[in-house]
């Protein structure tokens, strides 16, 4: 699907774009939303989900970005790795923290496969 420019948006999509701009305090709207704008109902759902989930709560916003990036690396989504990599840096992620995150992702990817390949049974103590 082609990326929609501002003048091609439906009224419903434009309303979401307005909220993205207001919330993020920038006029820039990235390509993800411009592709999703073909389905204004889904655009609104995804944006409100992101806004409600990624802000401060029991976990801080930077920790949430790291979780998000870890999933994106596991799912091999270049767009998501790059866009949320930029978001994490904007929230203060250092190079050293980024590399440590990658080392944890790499370790988990390795041990996940060992546990699956060796069909290790879950210890009783971990079941409750």
Binding of residue 125 to a second copy (CB under 8 A): yes
Find tokens 């992620």 and name the residue: 93
Which is closer to a second copy, CB of 14 or CB of 38? Answer: 38
# binding residues, a second copy (CB under 8 A): 78
Q: Residue 127 carries which DSSP code? A: T
- List the one residue out of 56, 76, 65 whose CA is nearest residue 101: 65
In the list 4, 13, 64, 88, the residue contacting a second copy (rule: CB under 8 A) is 64
Give the helix ranges, DSSP H, for 1-128. Answer: 11-24, 31-36, 40-54, 61-75, 78-90, 95-117
- Span of 7-15, 16-24, 79-87 interacting with a second copy by CB under 8 A: 79-87
Binding of residue 100 to a second copy (CB under 8 A): yes
Between residue 4 and residue 43, which ones bind a second copy under the rule CB under 8 A? Answer: 28, 30-32, 35-36, 38-39, 41-42
- List the one residue out of 65, 50, 127, 76 whose CA is nearest residue 98: 65
Between residue 44 and residue 63, which ones bind a second copy under the rule CB under 8 A? Answer: 45-46, 48-50, 52-54, 57-59, 63
Between the alpha carbon of residue 110 and those of residues 3, 103, 107, the distances in Å are 37, 11, 5
Which is closer to a second copy, CB of 5 or CB of 96? Answer: 96
Which is closer to a second copy, CB of 21 or CB of 113? Answer: 113
């Amino acid at each position: 699907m082609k990326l929609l420019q501002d003048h091609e948006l439906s009224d419903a999509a434009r309303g979401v774009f307005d909220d993205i701009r207001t919330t993020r305090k920038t006029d820039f709207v990235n390509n993800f939303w411009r592709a999703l704008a073909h389905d204004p109902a889904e655009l609104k759902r995804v944006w409100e989900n992101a806004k409600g989930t990624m802000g401060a709560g029991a976990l801080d916003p930077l920790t949430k970005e790291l979780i998000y990036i870890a999933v994106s690396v596991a799912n091999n989504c270049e767009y998501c790795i790059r866009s949320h990599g930029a978001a994490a840096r904007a929230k203060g992620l250092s190079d050293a923290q980024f590399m440590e995150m990658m080392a944890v992702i790499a370790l988990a990817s390795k041990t996940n496969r060992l546990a699956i390949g060796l069909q290790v049974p879950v210890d009783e103590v971990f079941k409750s």
